[in-house]
Amino acid sequence: MAQSALLNASILKKVAMALSGIFLITFLALHVSLNFISIISVNVFNEASHFMGYNPLIQYVMQPVLAIGVIFHFVMGFVLTAQNSAARPIAYAKYNGAANASWSSRNMIISGLVILAFLGLHFYDFWFPEVTYKYIAGTAPDATRYYTELVHKFQSPVRTGLYCVSFILLGFHLWHGFSSSLQSVGMNNKYSRFLSKIGYGFAVVVPALFVIIALFHHFNQHN
Amino acid sequence: MKLTLKIWRQKNAQDKGGIVDYPIDGIEPDMSFLEMLDVLNEQLINKGEEPVAFDHDCREGICGMCSLFINGEAHGPDRGVTTCQLHMRMFKDGDTIFIEPFRAKAFPVIKDLVVDRSSFDRIQHAGGFISVNTSGNTIDANTIPINKHDADKSFDAAACIGCGACVATCKNSSAMLFVAAKVSQYALLPQGKIEAVDRVLNMVHQMDHEGFGNCTNTGACEVECPKGISLENIARMNREYLSASLQG
């Protein structure tokens, strides 16, 4: 078989999508763990954030890898959605998708688009100011600023609300994405049911923690 | 029962087609869905109108010929049945029923509710077989010991009748469940292992070439499959394909 045919194969694309998803799931676990520290200890959160912000391995290796993973996942999501739409040029007059598949599995593109929009806001809030601080303004490192910046961002009820809605859609995305990624890489055996339950737990707990963190800082503005 | 049927009518493959309403009366709850369509067609013929073209053959749930997308679901609202096994008792008096052909780029409409599912045949031709010498030296398959667990799983996969409900119901028009069933039924048996690499590569290549969509694991195909083909087969095919890609 031609190499190009192999690279374009639907199964390899879905496996690549699944692997990038699993990578992003591990990143989410790390992200929520670090954020959760902010409601436990101000000092530890500042130290952890400073480490993440100035460690060369994280900044120059992990961060670009993460960016590639995110971009790949979104681009592949759009490509697959376009291909899938083309596979049914004439739609059904009546289609009862809810009869045989969950909302989250049928609407990954919608939850994905909300997450993409959220990433734009999140970058505007945190990543761009960070880049400006460090590389454009060239301000000296300050290991005590992170908690104050975080609390300040959650002052606005609108922004806090947008974050919470996005986290709920992230939960829907993970609800299908976690178990789907295992199926895509060929894992469907006696452990699958247990792992799917872990996935459902992850899809509830991680977004819920993000919501709790956002609400906590919104209602604790005294710092 | 008195019903309103909203049926897709299309003169030929080039025609644009559209939904046409047909009121129908005197339908017995114990009639099969295809018998109900027979009654409609009799009435249409008596009125001098063109009967509705639809696929059917054995009317026993074995051949996989009857298709139909009924009220938004492949083979209608019942589970584990083909359209010929669907009975009118699944509907209520006064119901409006949408009847459409299976929709997919790879299943073009030939006429009314009849679609061309020969893309499935071409996928089968690409690798859904084993090469056996049948010129008088055929070895009895029963002489090869096969693990009971694998034999059962292979038989379950082989129950696929190739009706196309998986494609019709999948929001992406993916044929992964069909191809996975055909790959699995051989992959699990010693006779199928010899050509396993070529089989999965060629069948998936043909599937992609036919224009089916990508699988996103919604599981709708498994729910609507009249033979209960499991998603486990898709995972197995993914493994087979990944392994074959590295070898081939």
Q: ∠ CA B2-B7-B10 to the nearest 5 degrees?
A: 155
Residues B145 and B94 in one domain: no
pLDDT of residue B136: 82
The identity of residue B198, as a single letter, is: D
Interface test with B, best of A80, A83, A88 (most B CBs within 10 A): A88
Residue from the list B8, B72, B213 with its beta carbon closest to the beta carbon of A95:
B72
Segments forming the whole domain that contains residue B40: 3-111
Residues of chain B short of pLDDT 50, as ranges, are none
CB contact (8 A) between residue A10 and residue B242: no
In chain B, residues with a C-beta closer than 8 Å to the C-beta of A11 are 204, 237-238, 241-242
Residues B103 and B173 in one domain: no
Residue from the list B72, B204, B223 with its beta carbon closest to the beta carbon of A9:
B204
| Cβ pair B151, B238 in contact under 8 A | no
CA–CA distance, B241 with A116 (Å, rounded to integer) = 31
- Residues whose CB is less than 8 angstroms from the CB of residue A62 and which lie 6 or more positions away in sequence, other chains included: none
pLDDT of residue A6: 63
More confident residue, B133 or A153: A153
- Residues whose CB is less than 8 angstroms from the CB of residue A102 and which lie 6 or more positions away in sequence, other chains included: A175, A176, B218
In chain A, residues with a C-beta closer than 8 Å to the C-beta of B215 are 10, 14, 184
pLDDT of residue B134: 82
Residues B71 and B156 in one domain: no
Residues B128 and B50 in one domain: no
pLDDT of residue B36: 98
pLDDT of residue B142: 85
ipTM above 0.95, yes or no: no
CB contact (8 A) between residue A87 and residue B211: yes
pLDDT of residue A72: 97
pLDDT tens string B126-180: 999 999 888 887 778 888 999 999 999 999 999 999 999 999 999 999 999 999 9
CA–CA distance, A40 with A46 (Å, rounded to integer) = 11
Residues B107 and B121 in one domain: no
pLDDT tens string A195-213: 999 999 999 999 999 999 9
Residue from the list A13, A84, A185 with its beta carbon closest to the beta carbon of B172:
A84
Share of chain A above pLDDT 70, in %: 96
Residue from the list A12, A93, A108 with its beta carbon closest to the beta carbon of B216:
A108
Share of chain A above pLDDT 90, in %: 91
pLDDT band at A145 (very low <50, low <70, confident <90, very high): very high
pLDDT tens string A44-73: 999 999 999 999 999 999 999 999 999 999
Residues B76 and B124 in one domain: no
| Cβ pair B169, B204 in contact under 8 A | no
Residues B122 and B243 in one domain: yes
What is the number of domains present in chain B? 2
Go through chain A and tell me how many residues it has: 223
Q: Alpha-carbon Rg of chain B, whole angstroms?
A: 20
Task: Look at the alpha carbons of B119, B123, B125, B128 in this order and tell me if their dihedral is positive or negative.
Answer: negative
pLDDT of residue B141: 81
CATH, domain range A10-87+105-218: 1.20.1300.10
pLDDT of residue A2: 57
Helix (H) or strand (E) holding A53: helix A42-54
CATH number at residue B46: 3.10.20.30
CB contact (8 A) between residue A108 and residue B104: no
pLDDT of residue A223: 52
In chain B, residues with a C-beta closer than 8 Å to the C-beta of A186 are 235-236, 238-239, 242
CB contact (8 A) between residue B202 and residue A94: no
**Shortest alpha-carbon distance between residue B172 and chain A (Å):** 5
pLDDT tens string A68-125: 999 999 999 999 999 999 999 999 999 999 999 999 999 999 999 999 999 999 999 9
CATH number at residue B128: 1.10.1060.10
In chain B, residues with a C-beta closer than 8 Å to the C-beta of A91 are 103
CB contact (8 A) between residue A93 and residue B6: yes
Residues B121 and B102 in one domain: no
pLDDT of residue B132: 85
Q: Is the pLDDT of residue A7 over 80?
A: no
- Mean local confidence (pLDDT), A131-144: 91
